[in-house]
Amino acid sequence: MELVRDLMDRFGDASKPMIITEGGYNDHPRWSAAVTPAERVRWTIASYELARSYPWLEAVILWQFSTPFSTRSYPDNWNFVAPDGTPRAIYHAVREYATRP
C-alpha cells in the first residue's frame, strides 16, 4: 500500500484517495498461513488504527463478512460471522472498536 502510494505521489496522483478493498487475517486452525484467533483480533484492530494515520486512505474493507454456506475449509475463517449469522470473536472486537468514542 505504501509503495503504491509512493508511485501515485511520484506520478501526480497525490490528491487521489485510496481504498483497501480486501484485507484481513485468517485463523483457521489447520491452514499453514493462519494466525491465532488472538492475533487476528489484535492485528485487525491494529490495521484499523494504522489506517487512521494515513490521511489519503479513505476506507479499509476486511474480507469477509460472511458466506451463505460453509465450505468446511480455511475460507470459512475469513468470515466475521458464521453462515447462520452467529458472530465470531472478530466481529465482536471490531464492533467494540467501531463504537469507541
Nearest to 24 by CA among 79, 95, 101: 79
Averaged pLDDT score across all residues of the chain: 94
Residue 63 exposed, middle or buried by CB count within 10 Å (0-12, 13-18, 19+): middle
pLDDT band at 88 (very low <50, low <70, confident <90, very high): very high
- Per-residue pLDDT, averaged over 44-65, amounts to 93
